[in-house]
């Protein structure tokens, strides 16, 4: 296979050009796992301070296992995709309760842990234990699509399986960890989504996209996510002691387990304004002040959020929410999602 001939060039390129990152300096599976979970949907420059903060708070897997979920979410605050943090907490408990704190050391065993899919399992097995198993993440899929000239949709299971099977034929048994790191680094630094730097690519001589001049056409990704528009109206209510009403979101779903102000959500439509006015009217809210308005974008939802100061705390009885009254210092310790953090500056400045 001609692709095998360029593997030594790929490994040499990596040794010379790779970024120095702390998770590349360790063989500790727990530390590698932490880095991989953080870097899902997160750029390296954004993820690095979270990686350090997470390990400062939970240096050993036993520390994570015995922590309260709110502690874990608080450390994760701002990263988004909070199911990652909750799954890490569950997996840490599983490892400590069922394996005496010993991290599983094979791809198949690791893959059975909560929240760990084929890519993350392969990364841990390869980097920590040198198992010969390919890592197929977004960067690697882009490299493979151009390298092989494949025009299949890279978002499909079929493309993942094709890539995995192909890489199994070229991954070197002596250095699977270096190969996997090299493929991901190549996708991050050279074979980028736009304007790939083909002249310095170690795979150039066997790259089909380069041969055919199709670098800008590959990979193919068919967008399927439909973004819905919603309005969320948050209520800022204080009791006579100056405490603020907060509620904790259900553990499943968006922002699971995080704290926020009491709210109501409406799908965006032509009659949204009328529905919102009727909602406030039915609650008997006559005196309300709009403090702030913020926009927020999730992968599947565009949110227009409003923060209302409401003086009548009796309205909480009609919302059917479990309310926790909290003082300013306590609120700081609550894990909160990014949209809620946008409203923090307004609480003391405009609502006292």
Active site residues: 36
Question: Hey, what are 188's tokens?
Answer: 């991050």
Beta strands across the sheet bearing 228-236: 263-267, 228-236, 301-310, 288-297
Residues 130, 131, 132, 133, Cα dihedral to 10°:
-120
Q: Are 325 and 244 in contact (CB under 8 A)?
A: yes
Q: Are 77 and 333 in contact (CB under 8 A)?
A: no
User: Other CB atoms closer than 10 Å to residue 201's CB: what's the count?
Assistant: 22
Phi, psi at 87, each rounded to 5°:
-70, -35
Q: Where are the alpha helices (DSSP H) in 3-43?
A: 7-17, 29-39
User: Other CB atoms closer than 10 Å to residue 300's CB: what's the count?
Assistant: 10
H-run or E-run covering 323: none
Give the residue carrying structure tokens 């439909």.
226
Question: Hey, what are 133's tokens?
Answer: 């198993």
| Residues 6 or more apart whose Cβ sits within 8 Å of residue 157 | none
| Residues 6 or more apart whose Cβ sits within 8 Å of residue 229 | 267, 268, 301, 302, 303, 304
Q: Are 335 and 76 in contact (CB under 8 A)?
A: yes
Question: Hey, what are 43's tokens?
Answer: 């750029």
Question: Hey, what are 89's tokens?
Answer: 């907490």
Q: What is the DSSP string of 157-223?
A: HHHHHHHHHHHHHHS-SS-HHHHHHHHHHHHHHTS-SSS--GGG-TTGGG-HHHHHT-TTT-SB---
């Amino acid at each position: 296979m001609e692709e095998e001939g360029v593997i030594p060039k790929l490994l040499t390129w990596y040794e010379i050009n790779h970024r120095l990152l702390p998770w590349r300096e360790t063989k500790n599976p727990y530390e590698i796992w932490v880095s991989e979970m953080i870097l899902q949907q997160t750029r390296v420059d954004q993820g690095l301070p979270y990686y350090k903060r997470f390990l400062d708070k939970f240096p050993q897997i036993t520390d994570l296992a015995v922590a309260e979920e709110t502690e874990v979410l608080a450390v994760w605050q701002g990263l988004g995709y909070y199911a990652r943090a909750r799954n890490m907490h569950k997996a840490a408990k599983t490892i400590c309760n069922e394996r005496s704190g010993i991290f599983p050391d094979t791809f198949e065993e690791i893959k059975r842990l909560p929240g760990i899919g084929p890519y993350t399992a392969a990364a841990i097995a390869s980097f920590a234990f040198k198992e010969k198993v390919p890592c197929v993440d977004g960067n690697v899929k882009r490299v493979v699509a151009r390298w092989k000239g494949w025009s299949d949709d890279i978002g499909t299971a079929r493309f993942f399986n094709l890539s995995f099977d192909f890489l199994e034929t070229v991954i070197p048994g002596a250095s699977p960890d270096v190969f996997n790191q090299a493929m991901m680094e190549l996708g991050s630094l050279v074979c980028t989504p736009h304007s790939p730097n083909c002249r310095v690519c170690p795979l150039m001589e066997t790259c089909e996209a380069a041969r055919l001049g199709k670098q800008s056409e590959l990979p193919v990704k068919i967008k399927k996510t439909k973004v819905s528009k919603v309005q969320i109206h948050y209520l800022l209510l204080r009791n006579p002691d100056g405490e603020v009403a907060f509620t904790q979101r259900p553990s499943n779903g968006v922002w699971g387990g995080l704290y926020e102000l009491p709210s109501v959500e409406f799908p965006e439509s032509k009659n949204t304004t009328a529905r919102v006015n009727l909602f406030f009217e039915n609650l008997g809210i006559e005196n309300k002040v709009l403090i702030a308005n913020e926009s927020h974008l999730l992968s599947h939802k565009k949110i227009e959020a409003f923060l209302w100061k409401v003086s009548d705390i009796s309205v909480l009885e009609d919302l059917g929410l479990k309310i926790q009254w909290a003082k300013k210092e306590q609120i700081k310790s609550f894990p909160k999602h990014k949209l809620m953090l946008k409203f923090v500056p307004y609480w003391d400045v405009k609502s006292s």
